[in-house]
Amino acid sequence: MRTLRIALILLLALVAMQVLGLMSVAQGPAGTWVSGIQIQNQSSSPATVTITFYWAQNSATPGAVAYTIGPVTIEGNKSVVYYLPGIADFPDNFVGSAVVSSDQPVAAILNTSKVAAGTESDPKRIGAASGVLSPATTVYAPYLRKNYSGRNSYIAVQNTSAESATVTITYRDNTGAEVAAARETATLSAYSTKIFYQNENAGLPNGFYGSAVINGTQPLAVVVNNANDGTRWDRSQFESYNGLTQSSTKLWIPKITANYSGYNTGLTIQNVGTAAATMELVSTFGNLTSPLIQPGAAWAVYLPSAFPSASGGGSATVTSSQPMVGVVTENKQSKGYGVVWSMIPDGSGTTTVLFPKFDRNYSGYNGGIQVQNIGTAPTRMQATFSKPGMTDLSITSPAPIPAGGSWSIYGPSVPGLPDGFNGSVTVVSLDGQPIAGIYTSKNDLPTAVGDYYSAYNGINK
């Protein structure tokens, strides 16, 4: 049986109402928060799936089972959606984690969103992260904030084992220097989750922007959220990303933008080696060489500033003399959008990438995929769209994608894909080259106000 780990965080803060699947947590972003899970069956055979929810560490019963869904059957190559507030008997005041178990390989993503009117004073906020297939005892979080330009972050750490785990978080500032006073240690019960709020850490200075390394005595799953205060539409950005477990001297970046319909990309690349490093960025817009980056420090590049004449989208790679991890931020200031996703370590690509959630005109949401050829030769790609009750639909890239290049797919532009589609996509490299990809989604309704933009890393099969 294959087991997939998901760090699942649900928040309720500073509101009077009660909503199914919520807990009162004063330290997090204000508002009523809910979550949904979308699970994709990787196999052509039916999958028998069970989802087990566990109470968080600060609950009355840390690590205890809160609720179970299943066993249920997911058709071959199809996906299912579970919106937790829509489950009538799901426990009130829940915050915690989930484990998805299946007799077939599965993939999953998690959406966390604020219940909001979607107005200037009560903006929508949404973030997404991938389910964690391979928990690790060392996890990197290269993009953290404490009261930095109105932004704060928090780290959700799940113990994925049946034994208790000791977790230690070590923080470094933007120069790579350890902030020793900020170090945190906690014991997590089996399968439980603890949330570490950077704005509650007295050892971190105000204005902190830096990184952390999360170590555990048992394998961990980590999701990081960054948020500003959300007091108005242009301060509504809510950004989720998975903690990083694999470093490399080469990182692939399937999607970048600069002055592209208001979208712009920033890169944060952390040296996790033992010596100072020089990094080289090669992108569609041009090339850059970093200054000497000390161990633990990060190189930050905002593409519109680095390439002021650039306009459009593309892809990139980063190489270094020391192992690195990195994340990509993308924003659209005029809409209050903000997302974060992870760069792709060299060697982690496969010939198949899974996207458990993809939308076309689904309640106003439209999805897009950018899949990068991270091999050494051109490859054709094929994308197959699946949904229960619908015959699979496949499209093929119009031409072979060169090594380092990307193929973009936008929901409304897919011939034959019906409006209202909310399903999964499988992208295959037809010529055997490794690929990796990113999914982004936004709400195109003119009345949508706030951060209706989300992103997650495709899951390599």
Is 167 in the same domain as 182?
yes
pLDDT at 20 over 70: no
- Domain CATH number, residue 116: 2.60.290
Instruction: Count CA within 13 A, CB hemisphere, residue 243.
Output: 32
Is 289 in the same domain as 367?
no
Is 14 in the same domain as 44?
yes
Q: Which of 187, 213, 242 is the last residue of a domain?
A: 242
Is 147 in the same domain as 60?
no
Answer for the pair 286, 227: CB distance below 8 angstroms, yes or no: no
25 pLDDT band (50/70/90 cuts)? very low
Determine the Cα–Cα distance for residues 204 and 185; give it in Å rounded to an integer.
Answer: 15
Is 356 in the same domain as 289?
no
pTM, entire model: 0.91
Is 116 in the same domain as 158?
no
Is 182 in the same domain as 293?
no
Q: Which of 318, 345, 372 is the last residue of a domain?
A: 345
- Domain CATH number, residue 211: 2.60.290.11
Kindly report which listed range (33-37, 312-316, 390-394, 398-402) carries the lowest average pLDDT score: 33-37
Q: Which of 202, 226, 242 is the last residue of a domain?
A: 242
What is the pLDDT, as a whole number, of residue 27? Answer: 55
Is 26 in the same domain as 126?
yes
Is 86 in the same domain as 161?
no
Determine the Cα–Cα distance for residues 38 and 107; give it in Å rounded to an integer.
Answer: 8
Looking at the 3D structure of the chain, how many domains does it have?
4
- Find the helix or strand (DSSP H, E) in which 458 lies: none
Q: Which residue range forms the structural domain that includes residue 334?
A: 248-345
Is 334 in the same domain as 371?
no
pLDDT digit string, tens, across residues 31-57:
788 889 999 999 999 999 999 999 999
Determine the Cα–Cα distance for residues 375 and 257; give it in Å rounded to an integer.
Answer: 22
Is 255 in the same domain as 209?
no
Answer for the pair 57, 189: CB distance below 8 angstroms, yes or no: yes
What is the pLDDT, as a whole number, of residue 327? Answer: 97
DSSP strand pairing (165-173 vs 248-258): unpaired
Is 341 in the same domain as 392?
no
Determine the Cα–Cα distance for residues 220 and 243; give it in Å rounded to an integer.
Answer: 10
User: CA-CA distances (angstroms) from residue 340 to 193, 223, 224, 268?
Assistant: 22, 11, 10, 10
pLDDT digit string, tens, across residues 122-151:
899 999 999 888 899 999 999 999 999 889
